[in-house]
Structure 1
Amino acid sequence: MLGIGTIAKKVFGTPNDRKIKATRPVIDQINALEPEFEKKTDAELIEKTRELQERARNGEDLDALLPEAFANVREAAKRALGLRAFDVQLMGGIFLHEGNISEMKTGEGKTLVATFPAYLNALSGKGVHIVTVNDYLAKRDAEWMGKVYTHLGMTCGVVYPQQPEAEKLGAYGCDVTYATNNELGFDYLRDNMKSELKDVCQKYHNFAIVDEVDSILIDEARTPLIISGPSQDRSELYRTIDGIIPEVQPEHYKLDEKSKNVTYTDEGNEFLEQRLRHYELLPEGQNLYDPESTTLVHHINQGLKAHVLFQRDKDYIVRDGQVVLIDEFTGRMMHGRRLSDGLHQAIEAKEGCEIQPENVTLAQVTFQNYFRLYDKLSGMTGTALTEADEFMEIYKLGVVEVPTNLPVARKDEHDQVYRTAAEKFKAVIEEIREANKKGQPVLVGTTSIEKSEMLSQMLQAEGLKHNVLNARQHEQEAQIVADAGKLGAVTIATNMAGRGTDIKLGGNVEFKVMEAIAADPEADPEQIRADIEAQHKGDEQAVKDAGGLYVLATERHESRRIDNQLRGRSGRQGDPGKSSFFLSLEDDLMRIFGSERLDSMLNRLGMQEGEAIVHPWVNKSLERAQAKVEGRNFDIRKQLLKFDDVMNDQRKVIFGQRREIMESADLSEIVQDMRHEVIDDLVAQYMPKKSYADQWETEALHADIRKKIGIDAPVMEWAEEEGVDDDDIRERLYDASDAFMAQKAVDFGPENMRMIEKQLLLQTIDSKWREHLLTLEHLRSVVGFRGYAQRDPLNEYKNEAFQLFENLLDGLREEVSEKLGQIRPLTPEEQQAMMQQMMAQQAAMQQAATGGESEPEPEEQAALIEGFDENDPNTWGNPGRNEPCPCGSGKKFKHCHGAL
């Protein structure tokens, strides 16, 4: 009996089918325009872009411009790259423009697909960001697809780490900008630490197309991006604790592999207390449960995690004396990424590396909240359907499965399950040997560097030639992937997610051409290409005859998506291929998630050594286990997001305020409102409503007004006047403080005063926000314990975070008012003294330049320029960061005009 749902699908088609059907009329329109655009000259294609930009500026809907825009891009790509987009590529582009995720199989040409919606959405003049998973792909795609944009009269830029600031600003100013998710997130945070609007890189968050969207928006969503500065050095403490951890026995802690957590038992705590007292880290009479021990407990917990949960060559590698993390999803090294909360330092201590100081957070954002800033978001990947619910719930992104240009001819075998890992690897070696005899290229998938190197040694012992691709071979990645489709090639790869380079049967023609030209620079490039292409046809056919690429996976990942990515490397563009998973009951996923029943079932079946069980039921039970893990990981990410949303609302307010301040030429009204609010609070505190005059604390009010506003107001005399109430005193304080600040503006010069107000406001916001982030971090680390008191930790966090944010805003008003009240112009004598100091420093510099001994620190160097004018920064030369600011504010240059 067919279910109602099945019958309905047969009659009406699935929702996915209906979406695909809806694009057909648009694709027919684009195809109908093709002959017209083929006749246009190169100049006319650019002219078409100008016409479309004008229509977009005049308010014409982008959907109405889509057919002409897509036809223009298709023609430009034909001329620039020799590639004519298939109908399914246009379809993928339409879904991206609508703000969906286009699920397109490997080798379907996603890089070209992105140019269509990018061009269309860049017509608005607000720029489009195309997001890639690594810098190599960002540069490659920008250079490759840049030719298409140039043919269309549009600009294309690329953003990469350590890029010169001027170049980066130029790249963000382009119509289309290629960048990695990390660089975009960090630039957003850096933008919100700048003090001049002209230095801000990301002017708009208009439209983003995320390549390998599942990798970026799901796998990396748990990792917040943090810009931090160093804090105190605790390396000795880490080393001492690292000396104690190896003494900890298995009975001293509980390991929960499912939740990747480890905790000490009561017995473990007693043991640690003895050892910590021995090393004089825990004072006599104090135990680990005392509040004073919080920091110590935190460190010993991190030490245990470093030893038990983090494995060398799986979670990190040690390179050049540094601990470099490995991305568990792509197998790539993550340079510059560090674990927070002292965990990275604990691993450095464990590996005997130099311990870098811990950092304090200056700014942070998660990818989830960064990408939700965009007015429109879309993505491409080969595998997104298994996480469709998460994409919809968190990002409001629908997933559409785009059909392949040619039918998939790959054979997906059932999983083969062995009793032990040794039996499994023996079978894997045998399978590789069989395929190798036929000349069939094999891609062997492993889940860790350690396993890929173990398998490599086994293949060496058997005399089978092969390549290894993991984090250690990161630099040769594209070359190894390009060779993986050659006749008889064997490639061992750790996590093949988002490699960006196609595995083409018979090898990659472009790479062969580049190699041949590099080997013989004198030869004719055209001739080389013709020879290689002719030879390649034969190689490609030989590989197809051998069965195409064989993907042989040695373990299941805890996410079905990663398995599907590996599978998808084979069978591109209708090529033949095969995929198979070899598993054992000792694999992590099988061991942790219910292998006991399977083991007892295999025992009952009386399986012999070396024999495998192959059955669709086994596949089903594995998929259920994977779905369970995916569900749990989704819950973790959702919970993390709920907490981050609290901070995100506050971050938007603060960053929005900063942007307003940078855009404003005159902040005197904002500063005045802040000052008046401080006066309101002080009057309400010392002269409460409905209180009698003899209850007023006028002396305390006078002292606080003098300290926080900078005026010496005769509050006590006013209070003694007949009929004066708190409102009268408030108004008089307003007037006195306004007159005081107006005189300051005259003394400094109105323009200087406005500049001082702006810099002071920005600096105070930044320092208060940094303190606030640290407080929220501490609150978050302890709020979970409120659950024991039957209180919801999230609600507790929301309430307290809101209270802390209100305190931040109160503190901000007070600090700005106080600092503005204290600044004053320098007297002629002070200016003279400062000039003499600067001249002395210049003399010291000249002496150093001519071989003298006392060279000042670079940070302290300063130079004097003729015609010095305190109101004109252009005449100040190069003041030292710690010198008084030449504007006469009385503050150090680094805290005034030299603020970063």
Structure 2
Amino acid sequence: MLGFGSLAKKVLGTANDRKVKATRPLVAKINALEPEFEKLSDEEIVAKTEEFKRRYQEGESLDKLLPEAFANCREGAKRALGLRAFDVQLLGGIFLHQGNIAEMKTGEGKTLVATFPAYLNALAGKGVHVVTVNDYLAKRDADWMSKVYAQLGLTTGVVYPYQPDEEKRAAYQADITYATNNELGFDYLRDNMKSSVEEMTQRDHFYAIVDEVDSILIDEARTPLIISGPSQDRSDLYVTIDKFIPEVTPEHYELDEKQRTVTFNEEGNEFIEQRLHDSGLLPEGQSLYDPESTTIVHHVTQALRAHVLFLKDRDYIVRDGEVMLIDEFTGRMMKGRRLSDGLHQAIEAKEGVEIQPENVTLASVTFQNYFRLYDKLAGMTGTALTEAEEFAEIYKLGVVEVPTNKPIARIDEHDQVYRTTREKYDGIIESIKEAHAKGQPILVGTTSIEKSEELSNLLTAAGVPHNVLNARHHEQEAKIVADAGKLGAVTIATNMAGRGTDIKLGGNVEMQVMEALDADPEADPDEVRKRIEAQHAEEEKKVIEAGGLYVLATERHESRRIDNQLRGRSGRQGDPGRSVFFLSLEDDLMRIFGSERLDSVLSKLGMKEGEAIVHPWVNKSLEKAQAKVEARNFDIRKQLLKFDDVMNDQRKVIFSQRREIMESDDLSDVVEDMRHQVIDDLVDIYLPPKTYADQWDSDGLHNAVIEKLSLDVPVSDWADEEGVDQEAMRERLYEASDKMMAEKTEAFGAETMRNIEKQLLLQTIDAKWREHLLTLEHLRSVIGFRGYAQRDPLNEYKTESFTLFESMLNSLRGDVTQQLSQVRPLSQEEQEEMMRQFAEEQAQLGGMPPGEPEPVSPPGPQRLGFDENDPSTWGNPGRNDPCPCGSGRKFKHCHGRLA
């Protein structure tokens, strides 16, 4: 009997059905325009784009332009690529334009779908970003779809790591820009560390379409993007601590696999304390519980985490003497990505490779907050419905399931659950041999490199030829995936999420044509294509007869979404196929989250060795376990976002202030306000309000004015004058400081002085922001303990971080004022003395003989904050630029020679 909910859905349709139904008339309108647009010449198609742009500028909305723009785009794609978009692809494009996530199954042509909303929104002239999960896909999609955009008269750019700034700027100026989520986030941070608007690369955050949106906005949301600089080298400490961690036994610590945490218990603390005393790292008489021991406790805990929680070939691999992290969701190496807080260094010590110095954070942002900068956001993926609540709550994104072009013919079988891992593997090998014997291509999904290699050894022993795709074989990825649909192919893959290459039955024709032409460049491309297409048609027919692609998963992932992605590799575009999950009670998910009841039920059933239980009830209980994990992960991300929002508000203030400073030509008023504020504060401290002159500390004020303003004025004499109050003292100090700055401006020249003010303001803001980020990191690490005092850690964090932000802005004023007061041009004698010293240094270094200095240009002002002994204060001058010391020499002949 149907429940009320099911009955209502049967009669009224689901909310998703209603959305799809409501959009069908718009698709009909686009289809009705097709004959009209087919008649247009190539030039007229481009002219249409210009016409749409003009109409938008005149006030017509993008929604109004949608039918004609989509019809034009469909025609452009048909001519450029020979692909005519299906109605369901237009549907997907409409949902993307409306700011939704379009859930489309694998092989439904998401890359082409994105061109429709990208083209429509590019008409606004503010730039559209299409976001992919890796550089290969960004370049491939940009290269492929740029033909469509060129046909329509639009420009395409692609952004990739280590790209020259000029090229990157041009890519962001294009109508449509393809980039990875990492590069977009890093460019945003880099732009907000630049010292002039001209150097910035990104423009508006107007509209972004995120491919594999679940991977980027959910799986990676917990990982902040951090731009960092090196701090002090403590590699000896890591190595020393690492030596006695292997002596630690499971009795010494508490491991919580659900939360992925490990902490020393009392017995462990006593053991570690003794070992630290023996090695001299902990002074006699000092315990681990003393405040002085905080740093050493932190390092010992990180070493324990490195040994217990992080496993080689699952969480990372060692390649070329470097620890490379592995993305748990895609199985890819994350080059350049490092764990923070000394954890990466602890893993390097464990593996005996060179330890890179720890880093200090210069700027950071989470993907959650970066993507919320966009006026409009949209996304595409094969699997989003399970996380619909999170998309709605955090990103205000709806999820719409787009119907497939052809009905799905894949058979999804019930899970097969075994008692032990050994029995499970026996069952897997048997199933693979059976399918392989009839020529059915098999894709075997594993959750780690270690497990994929273990299975590979078992298949080799069983005499089954196969390919392995994991982070070790990253380079051959496209080739292995392209061949995975061939007759009798067996492919073992670690997490197939977001691979970006479709598995086509019978193999990938394009890839085979490219290979054949590489092998024989003299061959006729048309002949080669004809021959390969004929072979492919024959092979495809055999594969379909064998049952299509068989997806065999060796374990369930924590997230249902990752399982669905693996399943979705089979049965693309209405192809036949089947999928099944092989599980055992010893699998991580079953062991940690599965109920003990399952084991007792299996025991009662009296299952024989090697037998599997197959029942819909088992599937349901597993899905419940996965849903619990997903809910917990969502809570963690939500909590993380609440804390990051506090910093994000401050980040926006600082970044917008920097932008205003960079865009301004004259900051003398800002600097003057800061100086006057500093004077106000000094007067309030030394001459408190509502006090008499005999209670003033005029000597203290005199010394503070010398220190903060480089002004030696008769403060004490003024204070002794009859009828002088705090206001009068304030006015006199204003006047004296203004006069001094006016003299400096005259000495340097107005233009130079304005530039000095701008650069000094930016440098000081950046330095203060870096310090503030570090303070907030430390605050975050201890704020949780406030919960023990019945106080809400989040509210405490908000209050304290706001106080810290205020004090940062106050100290910013003081620092800028003090540094500007100390800036002065070099005198003739000082310049000559500097030249003499330089000539002597050169002679000692085997350079020019003393007394024969190289001719120099007129000396300029010394760079603000320049310190002879600290290269980090020299800026980043080119080899032929004037040296920042102010000598007038080229940098390469001055401090650049010594650096």
Change (3 A) 1:452 1:478: same
2:681 corresponds in structure 1 to 681
* Distance (whole Å) between structure 2 residues aligned to residue 772 and residue 476 of structure 1: 44
2:436 corresponds in structure 1 to 436
* Distance (whole Å) between structure 2 residues aligned to residue 744 and residue 374 of structure 1: 44
* Distance (whole Å) between structure 1 residues aligned to residue 620 and residue 481 of structure 2: 31
Q: Deviations over 1:555-612 (max 9, x none)?
A: 0001000000000000000111100001000100001113421111111010001111
Equivalent residues of 1:838, 1:864 under 8 A apart: no
Amino acid across the alignment from 2:41: T
Equivalent residues of 1:879, 1:885 under 8 A apart: no
Change (3 A) 1:671 1:769: same
* Distance (whole Å) between structure 1 residues aligned to residue 32 and residue 346 of structure 2: 64
Moved more, 444-453 or 686-695: 686-695
Deviation for aligned residue 1:825: 1.3
2:715 corresponds in structure 1 to 715
- The 5 Å alignment of 1:90-239 reads 90-239=90-239
The 3-state SS of whatever aligns with 1:214 is: helix
Q: Indicate the RMSD between aligned Cα atoms, in angstroms.
A: 2.1
2:587 corresponds in structure 1 to 587
Change (3 A) 1:598 1:766: same
Deviation for aligned residue 1:724: 2.2
Change (3 A) 1:864 1:110: farther
Deviation for aligned residue 1:51: 1.4
Equivalent residues of 1:834, 1:884 under 8 A apart: no
1:277 corresponds in structure 2 to 277
* Distance (whole Å) between structure 2 residues aligned to residue 871 and residue 82 of structure 1: 63
1:467 corresponds in structure 2 to 467
Would you say how many aligned residue pairs link Structure 1 and Structure 2? 876
Q: Deviations over 1:656-700 (max 9, x none)?
A: 111111111111111111111111111111122211121111221
TM value normalised by structure 1: 0.95
The 3-state SS of whatever aligns with 1:117 is: helix
* Distance (whole Å) between structure 1 residues aligned to residue 461 and residue 530 of structure 2: 40
* Distance (whole Å) between structure 2 residues aligned to residue 450 and residue 700 of structure 1: 69
1:825 corresponds in structure 2 to 825
- The 5 Å alignment of 1:397-412 reads 397-412=397-412
1:860 corresponds in structure 2 to none
* Distance (whole Å) between structure 2 residues aligned to residue 893 and residue 165 of structure 1: 27
Change (3 A) 1:775 1:894: farther
Amino acid across the alignment from 2:582: F
Equivalent residues of 2:62, 2:121 under 8 A apart: yes
Q: Deviations over 1:510-551 (max 9, x none)?
A: 001101111111111111112211221111111111111000
* Distance (whole Å) between structure 1 residues aligned to residue 116 and residue 838 of structure 2: 58
Equivalent residues of 2:417, 2:582 under 8 A apart: yes
- The 5 Å alignment of 1:234-633 reads 234-633=234-633
* Distance (whole Å) between structure 1 residues aligned to residue 118 and residue 285 of structure 2: 67
* Distance (whole Å) between structure 2 residues aligned to residue 693 and residue 579 of structure 1: 89
Moved more, 725-734 or 495-504: 725-734
Equivalent residues of 1:192, 1:658 under 8 A apart: yes
Equivalent residues of 1:883, 1:893 under 8 A apart: no
Equivalent residues of 2:70, 2:120 under 8 A apart: yes
Equivalent residues of 1:277, 1:284 under 8 A apart: yes
Q: Deviations over 1:392-429 (max 9, x none)?
A: 11111111111111111100000010011111110111
1:663 corresponds in structure 2 to 663
* Distance (whole Å) between structure 1 residues aligned to residue 100 and residue 351 of structure 2: 45
Change (3 A) 1:347 1:408: same
Amino acid across the alignment from 1:709: L
* Distance (whole Å) between structure 2 residues aligned to residue 42 and residue 877 of structure 1: 47
Change (3 A) 1:68 1:872: farther
* Distance (whole Å) between structure 2 residues aligned to residue 864 and residue 18 of structure 1: 81
Amino acid across the alignment from 2:698: T
Q: Deviations over 1:23-81 (max 9, x none)?
A: 11211111111111111111111111111122222332111111111111111111111
The 3-state SS of whatever aligns with 2:364 is: strand
The 3-state SS of whatever aligns with 2:240 is: helix
Deviation for aligned residue 1:723: 2.4
* Distance (whole Å) between structure 2 residues aligned to residue 601 and residue 718 of structure 1: 93
- Percent of pairs identical after alignment? 73
Amino acid across the alignment from 2:25: P
1:7 corresponds in structure 2 to 7
Moved more, 789-798 or 651-660: 789-798
Change (3 A) 1:855 1:43: farther
* Distance (whole Å) between structure 2 residues aligned to residue 538 and residue 703 of structure 1: 92
* Distance (whole Å) between structure 1 residues aligned to residue 888 and residue 882 of structure 2: 14
The 3-state SS of whatever aligns with 1:825 is: coil
Equivalent residues of 2:882, 2:888 under 8 A apart: no
The 3-state SS of whatever aligns with 2:126 is: coil
* Distance (whole Å) between structure 2 residues aligned to residue 893 and residue 864 of structure 1: 10
Deviation for aligned residue 1:288: 0.6
Change (3 A) 1:887 1:202: farther
Equivalent residues of 1:92, 1:402 under 8 A apart: yes
Equivalent residues of 2:699, 2:716 under 8 A apart: yes
* Distance (whole Å) between structure 2 residues aligned to residue 160 and residue 186 of structure 1: 11
Q: Deviations over 1:422-441 (max 9, x none)?
A: 11110111111111111110
Q: Deviations over 1:708-751 (max 9, x none)?
A: 12222332222223322212222222222222212211111111
The answer to whether residue 878 in structure 2 is matched with residue 884 in structure 1 is no
Segments of structure 1 that go 5 or more residues without pairing to the other structure are 845-851, 857-862, 896-900
* Distance (whole Å) between structure 2 residues aligned to residue 255 and residue 872 of structure 1: 57
- The 5 Å alignment of 1:55-66 reads 55-66=55-66
Amino acid across the alignment from 2:273: E
1:777 corresponds in structure 2 to 777
Q: Deviations over 1:452-507 (max 9, x none)?
A: 00100111011101100000010000100000000110000000000000000000
TM value normalised by structure 2: 0.95
Q: Deviations over 1:111-161 (max 9, x none)?
A: 111111111111111111111101100110010011111111111111111
Deviation for aligned residue 1:752: 0.5
Amino acid across the alignment from 1:14: T
Change (3 A) 1:879 1:726: farther
The 3-state SS of whatever aligns with 1:569 is: coil
Change (3 A) 1:818 1:894: farther
Amino acid across the alignment from 2:557: H
* Distance (whole Å) between structure 1 residues aligned to residue 354 and residue 861 of structure 2: 48
* Distance (whole Å) between structure 1 residues aligned to residue 878 and residue 404 of structure 2: 63
Moved more, 442-451 or 705-714: 705-714
Q: Deviations over 1:595-640 (max 9, x none)?
A: 4211111110100011110000000000000000001111111111
Deviation for aligned residue 1:893: 10
* Distance (whole Å) between structure 1 residues aligned to residue 860 and residue 238 of structure 2: 50
Equivalent residues of 2:466, 2:492 under 8 A apart: yes
Equivalent residues of 2:56, 2:62 under 8 A apart: yes
The 3-state SS of whatever aligns with 1:334 is: coil
* Distance (whole Å) between structure 1 residues aligned to residue 124 and residue 344 of structure 2: 45
Equivalent residues of 2:858, 2:888 under 8 A apart: no
* Distance (whole Å) between structure 2 residues aligned to residue 660 and residue 294 of structure 1: 41
Equivalent residues of 1:865, 1:877 under 8 A apart: no
Change (3 A) 1:370 1:853: same
Amino acid across the alignment from 2:625: A
2:867 corresponds in structure 1 to none
Amino acid across the alignment from 1:884: C
Segments of structure 2 that go 5 or more residues without pairing to the other structure are 864-876
* Distance (whole Å) between structure 1 residues aligned to residue 184 and residue 79 of structure 2: 31
Equivalent residues of 2:862, 2:886 under 8 A apart: no
1:848 corresponds in structure 2 to none
* Distance (whole Å) between structure 1 residues aligned to residue 888 and residue 215 of structure 2: 50
* Distance (whole Å) between structure 1 residues aligned to residue 485 and residue 882 of structure 2: 58
Equivalent residues of 1:313, 1:450 under 8 A apart: yes
The 3-state SS of whatever aligns with 1:333 is: coil
